[in-house]
Structures are given as structure tokens and as C-alpha cells.
Amino acid sequence: FRKKFKEAYGEEPPMYSDTAYDATMMAILAIAKAGEYDGTKIREALIDISQTFMGATGYKLFDENGDQLYQVYEIWDVVEEDGKYKFVGTGYWP
């Protein structure tokens, strides 16, 4: 995702754009699979397509409640360095 974005736009992608891309693609696929704008059908389709969806941020598998399985979250700290702020990874959960 990052490489293709940089090639297309000549700059680094904004923070969380890969996550937004994945969410949008999954929503589009779920609506197409549901075949109509019915929330229950879209939800069922979303859980179904999550079984094989590999997005820019990785594999996206949802359980029957719609919660994402096997997700690792990186915890960041905001650090000031030479008058500029940057994110520094401080850990992971779980």
C-alpha cells in the first residue's frame, strides 16, 4: 500500500490511510455481496468476506459478533525531539 501510494502521489501516505482503505474496501465488498442496503445482510456479508480478506494492514478476520480476531495493536508514545513531535512505539497488545 505504502509503495503504491508513494508512486501515485509522490509522498508518504497519511497516518491511518491504510486502515481507512481496508475499511472502505471491506464495506464495498460487503455491500456488493449483500446485494442490497440491508444492515443485517451487509453485516453477515462483512463477516463472511473477512474470512479471506487480506488488506493493506494485513489479514482481517471477524468473529460472529463482528469483532476482529488475531489483531495486534502497537502502543505509541508521542515524543518531542528538537522541537518536533514524533511517534515512538512503546509496546504491543496483546
Q: How many domains does the chain have?
A: 1
Q: What is the pLDDT of residues 63-93, one digit of tens each?
A: 998 888 987 788 999 999 999 999 999 998 8
What is the three-class DSSP state of 5?
A: helix
Across 22-83, where does the E strand assignment appear?
A: 54-55, 58-59, 61-62, 68-69, 73-81
Residue written as grid cell 464495498? 28
Q: Is the pTM of this model over 0.75?
A: no
Q: What is the pLDDT of residues 6-59, one digit of tens each?
A: 999 999 999 899 999 999 999 999 999 999 999 999 999 999 999 999 999 888
- Domain range for 34 is 2-93
Question: What secondary structure letter does DSSP report for 77?
Answer: E
**Residue 42 in grid coordinates:** 451487509
